[in-house]
Amino acid sequence: MKDSFDVAGLPTRLGSYFASEEPAAVDSAVAARLRRAGAIILGKTNTPEFLASYETDNYITGRTNNPWNVDRTPGGSSGGEAAAIASGCSPGGVGSDGGGSIRVPAHFCGIAGLKPTPGRISLIGYQPVEPSLGITVAGPMARSVAGCAALVRGPRWLRRPRPAERASGSARTQTGTRAALVLLKHSMGLPCSLPCQRAVREAAAALANLGFPVEEFQPTGLERAHPNLCEFFLRRTSGTCREGSHGG
C-alpha cells in the first residue's frame, strides 16, 4: 500500500516528519477491502514528502530508485509502489493520482496503472485529506493491465458497481459509446515519441476491432492545463506553484 493509505497498526507518514508517527487505528477502506478479499498487505511504500513531486525521495526513508536503472527515478508520487511492483516485490497494489501520481511512475517503471473516475474507489482513510477539489483518486497498479483489471473489476473489492452493472451485471449494456483518438505530437512543449504514438494508434485499433466507433479528436485549450492545475490545486493548497510539483 502506498504510504498515504491508513493500514491498521502502521503510521501513515507521507514521507514527512510533520506527519503523525502514531499507528493508524483502523484500515482505510481500500486496505479493508483488500483484506476481506484475502489479500496480504506486505507493507507501506515510499512517497515524496506530502506526495508533492514527480520523484520519490524524502528525509525519513530516503530515495527510491528505479529498479531498471538505479541512477534514475521511479517517478512519483506513487514511485515506491511502482518500484516494488516492477522489481517483483509484489504482484500489485494501490496508489493514488491527482496530477499523474499513478500514471507517471507506472510509465517510468514499465508497469500498468490506472487513474479511475473520481469517486469510483473510496478515499476513506486516505491522507492528506484533499480540500474538496475532486482531483485525487485511488487506483490500481500492477505488472499488467490484467492485474489492474483483477484489482478493480475482478473480485469487485474496490469499486462501487455502476447503475448499468447493478441492473444487468455487465458494463456492455450501454450503447452509443464512442472512442476518441487523441494523438498529441507535442504536449506542454515536449514531443511525443514515435513509439508512444504507435502505441496509442494500436490501442485505438483494438477498440475498433471490439466494435467501438473511433474518431480522431484534438482537444483545445490544453495550453491552459498547467496554469489551471497550479491555480486550482497547488496554489490553493500549498501557497506555491513550483515547476514539477503536483498532487497525488
Task: Kindly report the average pLDDT of the chain as a whole number.
Answer: 84
Note whether 127 and 6 are within 8 A (CB).
Answer: yes
Q: What is the CATH code for 1-160?
A: 3.90.1300.10
The span from the CA of 82 to the CA of 90, in Å, is 10
Tell me whether residue 115 is one of the annotated catalytic residues: no
At position 146, the amino acid (one-letter code) is A
pLDDT at residue 161 greater than cutoff 90: no
pLDDT at residue 33 greater than cutoff 60: yes
The span from the CA of 188 to the CA of 16, in Å, is 30
Query: What is the domain partition of the chain in residue ranges?
Result: 1-160, 178-239
Tell me what the mean pLDDT of segment 75-99 comes to.
Answer: 96
Going from the C-alpha of 80 to that of each of 11, 75, 104, 128, 192, the distances in angstroms are: 16, 9, 12, 17, 26
**184 confidence band (pLDDT: 50, 70, 90):** confident
pLDDT at 88: 96
The span from the CA of 92 to the CA of 1, in Å, is 9
Note whether 246 and 99 are within 8 A (CB).
Answer: yes
pLDDT at 235: 61
The span from the CA of 48 to the CA of 96, in Å, is 13
Report the share of the chain in percent with pLDDT over 90. 58
pLDDT at residue 126 greater than cutoff 80: yes
Tell me whether residue 185 is one of the annotated catalytic residues: no
* Category of 169 on φ-ψ map: left (φ > 0), alpha (ψ -120 to 50) or beta: left
3-class secondary-structure state, position 234: helix
Instruction: Output 151 or 160, whichever has higher pLDDT.
Output: 151
Question: 2, 4, 90, 96: which is the annotated catalytic residue?
Answer: 2
Beta-carbon contacts of residue 160 (< 8 Å; ≥ 6 apart)? 119, 120, 122
Question: 4, 53, 77, 90: which is the annotated catalytic residue?
Answer: 77
Tell me whether residue 90 is one of the annotated catalytic residues: no
pLDDT at residue 248 greater than cutoff 60: yes
